[in-house]
Amino acid sequence: MVTFTEISPALQAQAIELPSWAFGNSGTRFKVFAHPGVPRTIQEKIADAAKVNELTGLAPTVALHIPWDRVDDYEALGRYARSLGVGLGTINSNTFQDNDYMLGSLTHSDPGIRQKAIDHHLECIDIMHQTGSRDLKIWLADGTNYPGQDDIRSRQDRLADSLAKVYARLGDDQRLVLEYKFFEPAVYHTDVPDWGTSYAHTVALGDRALVCLDTGHHAPGTNIEFIVAQLLRLGKLGSFDFNSRFYADDDLMVGAADPFQLFRILVEVIRGGALGPDSTVAFMLDQCHNIENKIRGQIRSVLNVQEMTARALLVDREALSAAQRSGDVLEANDILMDAFYTDVRADLAAWRESRGLPANPVAAYRDSDYQRRIDAERVGGTQTSWGA
């Protein structure tokens, strides 16, 4: 029987990167909803992310999105972040909001538009040099809406060529992480729709090209933990984007729709060694809080990941392996379910207090004056949103 004391060292090392855009306004294709206290600058986004880290101890870095978070002096931005106890992390590119990219970016049939998209990624790499970021994350909205709209195979050839030009500019300590999404905004076919396509392109590029798995980017019923296990087995899982969805890509708080799925994913993360001190797998949230409080939503999400990680660590691996080897199907399932149903909330609360953190970070934030203060101070200017 595994005890909480035995798993606490593994929890100590857990780190979950926060996305800067999660603190801005967001919504659906029908409306973006405005909230009091929403950041107007990247500095204010970083301040909010630092508050999450202060209360949870789980979120030491902030991912930037270019051009949304573009500034004149990235070294100064890094110093500002460090002054608040956090660092700058992944650089995310954006080739989905320029009119030129309506029919594609890195896959576009027009060489000039493809070069524009390539140049944007080269700018992102330049920013990585200034921020000390390791990962360039690429998510493409590229695809088609109608059969015959474009040649599917030619788009793959153009994508491979474009990615190779971006990859060639990476520094020796930098990585390209290619995300996939099975649909949306393109509805007939997406150019990087699944882990196999992302894997094929990253294998062709080289060792510093890896796959990003967004937990909301799969068809209903997909066995995501199998994908995690396979990519870890192949050494090609670069990062996670944690969120949750009920139907399409809703970008809800991680674990909201299916906590058991999150548990199963983390079981494979641990089985594959991705939580260990030598792991290079990056864990990040990718969420847009439409109707809920931004900061409290991020706090809740990182705590959800932590809780399911603790439960996954409680799986008795020796007993499970013995049951699997003997073919005892029910015993193996019972061992897994016993860990999932273990309530670790009190243990985690006590563990946080032992580290000088609030036992209940959500309540601590709710009872603090931080939200009231930013509501009063952040008046005037233009609130940031997922589109700016």
pLDDT tens column, 231-283? 999 999 999 999 999 988 888 999 999 999 999 999 999 999 999 888 999 99
In 15-43, which positions are buried (b, 16+ CB within 10 angstroms) versus exposed (e)? ebbbbbbbbbbbbeeeebeebebbbeebe
Name 379's Cβ contacts closer than 8 Å, sequence gap at least 6.
none
Could you identify the residue written with the tokens 């576009």?
Answer: 108
Q: Is the pLDDT of residue 220 over 70?
A: yes
Please give the average per-residue pLDDT across 66-71, as a whole number. 97
Interacting residues of 136 by C-beta distance below 8 A, sequence separation 6+: 90, 91, 93, 121, 124, 125, 128, 166, 170, 174, 175, 176, 177
Q: What is the pLDDT of residue 320?
A: 98
- Give percent helix, percent strand, percent coil of the chain, each to the nearest 5: 45, 15, 40
CA nearest 345: which of 337, 335, 355, 353?
Answer: 353
pLDDT for 387 equals 63
Q: Where are the domains of the chain?
A: 13-307
Task: Report the range of poorest mean pLDDT among 25-29, 31-35, 171-175, 204-208.
Answer: 25-29
State percent of the chain over pLDDT 90.
93
Pick the CATH number of 13-307 from 3.40.50.920, 3.30.70.270, 3.20.20.150, 3.40.640.10: 3.20.20.150
Q: 211 has which bridge partners? A: 178, 237
Predicted pLDDT of residue 388: 53
- Structure confidence at residue 227 (pLDDT): 98
**pLDDT reported for residue 330:** 98
pLDDT at 99: 97
Average pLDDT, the chain: 96
DSSP string, 336-380: HHHHHT---HHHHHHHHHHTTS-SSHHHHHHHSSHHHHHHHH--S
Q: How large is the C-alpha radius of gyration of the chain? A: 21
> H-helix or E-strand containing 63?
strand 61-65
pLDDT digits (tens, 9 = 90+) for 143-163: 999 999 999 999 999 999 999
Q: What is the mean pLDDT of residues 71-97?
A: 98
CB 224 within 8 A of CB 265: yes
Q: Is the pLDDT of residue 369 over 80?
A: yes
Whether the per-residue pLDDT at 342 is higher than 80: the answer is yes
Q: What's the pLDDT band for 29 if we cut at 50, 70, 90?
A: confident
